[in-house]
């Protein structure tokens, strides 16, 4: 009888290495390992060889970095979406682009099942599985962490050692890390106690601020319709642009976030995130919107940003609402074109200047000096009309108070 084909979201790390062997032991299936390159910088020849050595029948290495940056990162950037005021969603929007490719390969291979290494405590299981349901609900999903007897990373390490599967972690340093072209996250280990100050030796994308240059670095970022397209006057393709900003921001200690967040599944978790280039882009993009968006649009867009961040965090990328919000956001970005200059210094990224051909800032109107375009007398009528409801309410209150006083007498 022909074996069923299972697609495994494979990284070569502890969890997926163990899962590959476990699937073959427990399901008597053919396992196709699929490693999606979103910029984690792995040795993919080694990953391929390891997958074959662990029992994979076929291995895919899929480079989706351009799709990831253009169609997931940039739309979220334009929306201004930041989860709980801190998190720039690095892991969150990587999951739908990965899951989408898994579905496409499953359809190509005639596979019946997709397996992933997400735990039952995390958000990623939701993000993967909602994407699969949205794109091909006929595919089955297996999440071993929800059904096997392995109960901890230590158990998984023991399982791997028993089967001579090489793994990149030890019980002494059990950090869980997720890296892509946008960010690097760190969880677990001593980070599980929020009172513990995180150790800077964990950084891989970022220089500790204390060790950064003593002189400030300036960088100009140019946007067209909300999309970043140039650095210091030189145009770059999206992937190259983000890589360059990661280098600039990282060398200046920018983009380190330590936060306790509310997971979708109900618990709080603590993570340390490195997002150097992304922090520069968010800072610059927001500043350009201050210059080019009118008050009502900007304030309403801030409401949209919060909802957008929740959709991304919750794994609801492939939904009608997210698509509708994108249409709104794209409309707001029509005139978000211009350059923002940032000053980077020992972990900070401050705005040093901004300009746009579509700037709504007018020095003629804003000046405290003499001008010929604004009549101060006009403000009196505006205040009278704007405050009319307050005046009417105050008159009503006074009238009632007078009547109550008369009745009391």
57 is in an annotated binding site: no
The one catalytic residue among 176, 309, 354, 356: 176
Has 127 been labeled as part of a binding site?
yes
> Is 11 annotated as a binding-site member?
yes
Mark whether 95 is an active-site residue.
yes
Active-site pick, 37, 95, 178, 356? 95
117 is in an annotated binding site: yes
Query: Is 124 marked as a binding-site residue?
Result: yes
Tell me whether residue 362 is annotated as binding: no
Annotated ligand binding at 123? The verdict is yes
As a three-state string, the secondary structure of the chain is: CCCCEEEEECCCCHHHHHHHHHHHHHHCCEEEEEEEECCCCCCHHHHHHHHHHHCCCEEEEEECHHHHHHHHHHHHHHHCCCECCCECCCCCCHHHHHHHHHHHHHHHHCCCEEECCCCCCCCHHHHHHHHHHHHCCCCEEECHHHCCCCCCHHHHHHHHHHCCCCCCCECCECCEEEECCCCEEEECHHHHCCCCCCCHHHCCCCCCHHHCCCCCEEEEEEEECCEEEEECCEECCHHHHHHHHHHHHHHCCCCEEEEEEECCCCCEEEEEEECHHHHHHHHHHHHHHHHHCCHHHHHHHHHHHHHHHHHHHCCCCCCHHHHHHHHHHHHHCCCCCEEEEEEEECCEEEEEEEECCCCCCCHHHHCCCCCCCCCCCHHHHHHHHHCHHHHHHHHHHHHHHHHHHHHHC
Active-site residue, selected from the candidate residues 37, 101, 124, 269: 124
Is 16 annotated as a binding-site member? yes
Q: Does 14 count as an annotated binding residue?
A: yes
15 annotated ligand binder: yes
- For residue 273, say whether it is annotated as part of any ligand binding site: yes
Q: Does the annotation mark 330 as catalytic?
A: no
- Does residue 15 have an active-site annotation? yes
**Residue 124 annotated to the active site:** yes
**67 labeled part of a ligand binding site:** no
Residue 185 known to bind ligand = yes
Residue ranges for the known binding site for L-aspartate are 119, 123-124
Residue ranges for the known binding site for ATP are 9-17, 117
Active site residues: 15, 95, 124, 176
Residue ranges for the known binding site for L-citrulline are 87, 92, 123, 127, 176, 185, 261, 273
Residue ranges for the known binding site are 9-17, 87, 92, 117, 119, 123-124, 127, 176, 185, 261, 273
């Amino acid at each position: 009888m022909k074996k069923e084909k299972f697609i495994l979201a494979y990284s070569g790390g502890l969890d997926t290495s163990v899962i590959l062997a476990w699937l073959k032991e427990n399901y008597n299936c053919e396992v196709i390992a699929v490693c999606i390159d979103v910029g984690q910088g792995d040795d993919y020849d080694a990953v391929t060889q390891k997958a074959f050595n662990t029992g994979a029948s076929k291995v895919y290495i899929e480079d989706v970095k351009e799709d990831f940056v253009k169609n997931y990162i940039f739309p979220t950037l334009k929306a201004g979406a930041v989860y709980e005021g801190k998190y720039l969603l690095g892991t969150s929007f990587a999951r739908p682009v990965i899951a989408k490719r898994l579905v496409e390969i499953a359809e190509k291979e005639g596979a019946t099942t997709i397996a992933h290494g997400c735990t039952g405590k995390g958000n990623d299981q939701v993000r993967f599985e909602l994407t699969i349901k949205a794109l091909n609900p006929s595919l089955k999903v297996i999440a071993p962490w929800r059904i096997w007897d392995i109960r901890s990373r230590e158990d998984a390490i023991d399982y791997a050692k028993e089967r001579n599967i090489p793994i990149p972690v030890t019980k002494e340093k059990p950090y869980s890390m997720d890296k892509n072209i946008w960010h690097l996250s760190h969880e677990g280990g001593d980070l599980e106690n929020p009172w513990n100050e995180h150790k800077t030796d964990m950084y891989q994308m970022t220089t500790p601020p204390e060790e950064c240059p003593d002189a400030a670095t300036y960088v100009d970022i140019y946007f067209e319709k909300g999309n970043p397209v140039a650095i210091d006057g030189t145009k770059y393709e999206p992937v190259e642009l983000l890589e360059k900003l990661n280098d600039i921001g990282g060398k200046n200690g920018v983009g380190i976030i330590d936060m306790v967040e509310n997971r979708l599944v109900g618990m709080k978790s603590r993570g340390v995130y490195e997002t150097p280039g992304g922090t520069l882009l968010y800072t610059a993009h927001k500043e350009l919107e201050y210059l080019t968006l009118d008050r009502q649009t900007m304030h309403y867009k801030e409401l949209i940003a919060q909802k957008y961040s929740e959709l991304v965090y919750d794994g609801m990328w492939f939904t009608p609402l997210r698509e509708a919000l994108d249409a709104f956001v794209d409309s707001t970005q029509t005139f978000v074109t211009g350059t923002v200059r940032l000053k980077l210094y020992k972990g900070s990224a401050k705005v040093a200047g901004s300009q746009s051909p579509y700037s709504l800032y007018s020095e003629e109107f804003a000046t405290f000096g003499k001008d010929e375009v604004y009549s101060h007398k006009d403000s009196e009528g505006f205040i009278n009309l704007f405050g009319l409801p307050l005046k009417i309410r105050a008159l009503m209150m006074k009238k009632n108070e007078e009547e109550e006083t008369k009745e009391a007498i």
